[in-house]
Amino acid sequence: MSVKLNIAEFARRRKELIAMMEPNSIAIVATAEEKIRSRDTHYHFRPDSDFYYLSGFVEPGAVLVLVPGREHGEFVMFVRERDREKEIWDGYRQGPEGVLANYGAEDAFPIDDIDEILPGLLEGRERVYYSLGRDPDFDRRVMGWINTLRAKERSGAIPPGELLDLDHYLHDMRLFKSAAEVKLMRTAGQIAADAHVRAMRAAKPGLYEYQLQAEIEHEFARQGARFPAYATIVGSGANGCILHYIENESRLEKGDLVLIDAGCEYQMYAADITRTFPASGKFTDAQRRIYDLVLASQLAAIAEIKPGNHWDAPHAAAVRVLTQGLVELGILTGDVEQLIEEGGYREFYMHRTGHWLGIDVHDVGDYKVAGNWRILEPGMYMTVEPGLYISPDNTEVAEQWRGIGIRIEDDVLVTAEGCEVLTGGVPKTADAIEALMAGE
């Protein structure tokens, strides 16, 4: 099984972006920098998400330029040159000839020549689209190219006069997923679900959290999703109350719940799943009551995901169910409406119910438009991840609840009819989890 994006998909995106650009403009997008991990070794390179979205190109040391209407090609790439010696040490390079042949570039140059060539591409263009402030070094280089032209103004050069934010258009495009992207997201969701199932099956008291992390990440890699989309969280017992717990070094004890928040990146698209289950395979009565409440809130939130509803509707639904349930369990006291209004639930539920998902795990796209919550439309993809976290030190609540941390997270696509959960391959009712862990 291998699903990949076709180069036509990237061409369609560039065309769409070019159509939105103001007349006589140019867009510049650089990929990410390689980062040193320790002496002579680097972190695994990951291209910049915007750069990848427009090019499909995954080598470091590259810059993409869109120059609408340019006679010698609108899609210009600067990339590392082929170099036999360097390729023997560090791997293959496409070189300018490779991006012309394989990536749809219409003109291509060695990245080392960019300082000589880019001012010429800017010349006579009135507006530059660029993500200012993302990378200070690259900001300086862009200013340098513009200043090169300014220095030549007296000999007739016309430097651009306006810098425009590229993110505005590009991130709106990224918010709406195409059919081809949905295929990748579906695969990412299925692989991540398989990994969670595997970790649940493997879990037992006495294992260490990192051993479950290993089960998860081995399953990702085994299915071709070689990297997690974010650092895997395996929190047993009260560690589940720490939202971004990534130490993953504790031993699972009998009676613990285990919270795993893990998702793979498949062909650059993220999955983001959380499940919480008992280390021993059986929920205690108190754990099950909190679990059922979180699940009810998640289902209520998912029921709000449909075109026409706004971004905050799922969160509001989750907050209502959680607050009401906490009052019924005696964990919160007071009037439900007032507790919602004043945020009385926040001691136990301190994050939002979701975020956009895509090439970035916390994906781009505005949550509000002109001060109002964004209206959901088909093709948007988001997580739904309510939780309850009852601190082990909270002496205000009965002892049976203390140290319980539960989150349930799925990835949900807005469709014309409503929504579709793409991570449904991992069980989430308490009964289904117990059955799976019992080997049924």
Active site amino acids: 40, 244, 261, 272, 351, 355, 362, 385, 389, 407, 409
Nearer to ligand GLY, 230 or 348 (CB): 230
Nearer to ligand GLY, 70 or 351 (CB): 351
Long-range contacts of 140-143 (CB under 8 A, 24+ apart): 141/115, 142/28
Is residue 114 within 8 Å of residue 63, measured between CB atoms?
Answer: yes
Q: Of residues 194, 272, 410, 434, which one binds ligand GLY by CB under 6 A?
A: 272
Site string for ligand GLY, 351-380 (x = CB under 6 A): ----x-----x-------------------
CB 20, min distance to ligand GLY, A: 30
Binding site residues, Mn ion, CB under 5 A: 261, 272, 383, 409
Q: Of residues 230, 269, 349, 381, which one binds ligand GLY by CB under 6 A?
A: 230
DSSP structure string for 146-172:
HHHHHTTGGGT-----EEEESHHHHHH
Indicate the residue whose CB is closest to ligand GLY: 261
Site string for ligand GLY, 311-350 (x = CB under 6 A): ----------------------------------------
Is residue 188 within 8 Å of residue 265, measured between CB atoms?
Answer: yes
* DSSP label of 105: -
What tokens appear for 302 in the block?
A: 């998912």
Q: Rounded to 5 degrees, what angle do the CA atoms 351, 220, 196 make?
A: 55
Distance separating alpha carbons of residues 248 and 211, to the nearest angstrom: 9
CB neighbour list of residue 386: distance below 8 Å, 6 or more residues apart? 294, 297, 298, 301, 318, 322, 349, 353, 407, 408
Q: Residue 230 binds which one of ligand GLY, Mn ion, none, with CB within 5 to 8 A depending on kind?
A: ligand GLY
DSSP structure string for 295-364:
HHHHHHHHHT-STTSBTTHHHHHHHHHHHHHHHHTTSS-S-HHHHHHHTGGGGT--S-S--B-SSSSS--
Nearer to Mn ion, 320 or 355 (CB): 355
CB 412, min distance to ligand GLY, A: 13
Contact status: 265 vs ligand GLY (CB under 6 A): no
CB 361, min distance to ligand GLY, A: 6
Per the DSSP assignment, residues forming a β-bridge with 382 are 356, 412
Q: How many CA atoms lie within 13 A of 227 on its CB side?
A: 15
Nearer to ligand GLY, 149 or 191 (CB): 191
**Interface residues for ligand GLY in 194-223 (CB under 6 A)?**
none
- Neighbouring C-beta atoms of residue 3, cutoff 10 Å: 15
CB 394, min distance to ligand GLY, A: 23
What tokens appear for 385 in the block?
A: 């991840």
Site string for ligand GLY, 378-417 (x = CB under 6 A): -------x-----------------------x--------
Q: Of residues 167, 261, 265, 411, which one binds ligand GLY by CB under 6 A?
A: 261
Chain contacts with ligand GLY (rule: CB under 6 A):
230, 261, 272, 355, 361, 385, 409
